[in-house]
Amino acid sequence: MQLDLSGRTALVTGSTQGIGYAIAQGLARAGARVAINGRTAERVEEAVRQIQQDVPGAEAIAATADVTTEDGTAGLLEVLPRVDVLVNNLGIFGAQPAMEITDDDWRRYFEVNVLSALRLTRAYLPGMVKRGWGRIQYIASDSAVVIPAEMIHYGMSKTALLAASRGFAKEAAGTGVTVNSVIAGPTHTGGVEKFVYEMVDSSLPWDQAQRQFMREHRPQSLLQRLIEPEEIANMVVYLGSPLASATTGAAVRVDGGYVDSIVP
């Protein structure tokens, strides 16, 4: 497959580390000009340098902005008025007993995980439609379908992304712009390592801790291991490419078989 995104500009929110960084790296390998986003200029610049080191010849630019706020998004749009591939990756997660999730917690998860993506979609979709080509993706989670008892607020936010993705795909119908969600399964990132150790014995070596976590807390996984960020990125790059022109309004799973369903 020739996943060629030469001449296209991609924005990946929350891309200084983890899944977001892997996606940005994958898009750069496919030839896209990639905007690295984060709230701290130092971390963004470091990620830009790392992309350029990992992908010789890559064109990566800094897009420092807090996209969870209207002002931050407005500043980003001044720096990056046009985007061809928008990957709404930014998200927060954490375990919390259901009855202890406060109104402020619910608002925070919605504003960070959902509203930031909707705001950017509204900003960039009209330009994509006018040009007759574009790709918008929402990085969802298996938690959107299999709501975890220990983080209902997170699951709620990811379910909302599935609805938003399907709805905006209808808005973009017939325009050459596709809108999809990627349902990512349990993935190996620094944040997830911390989360795993919150759920199992923190004195265990990582390999044992990971196996115990999957066995006790994610037994549905057919992969029986955490997914690597690059494995999520592979799907995102494909969906962002011209080869995925007939895939829209979909929730595509990269979940290691976690969701027990024969339909996407």
> Which positions are catalytic?
154
Tokens 């996209």 identify what position?
Answer: 67
DSSP string of 181-195? EEEE-SB--HHHHHH
CA distance 248 to 173: 9
**Cβ count within 10 A of residue 182:** 26
Edge-to-edge strand ranges of the sheet holding 177-184? 60-64, 33-38, 9-12, 85-88, 134-141, 177-184, 251-254
- Can you say how many angstroms the Cα of residue 35 is from the centroid of all Cα atoms in its chain? 14
- Contact assessment for residue 237 and residue 27, using Cβ atoms and an 8 Å cutoff: yes
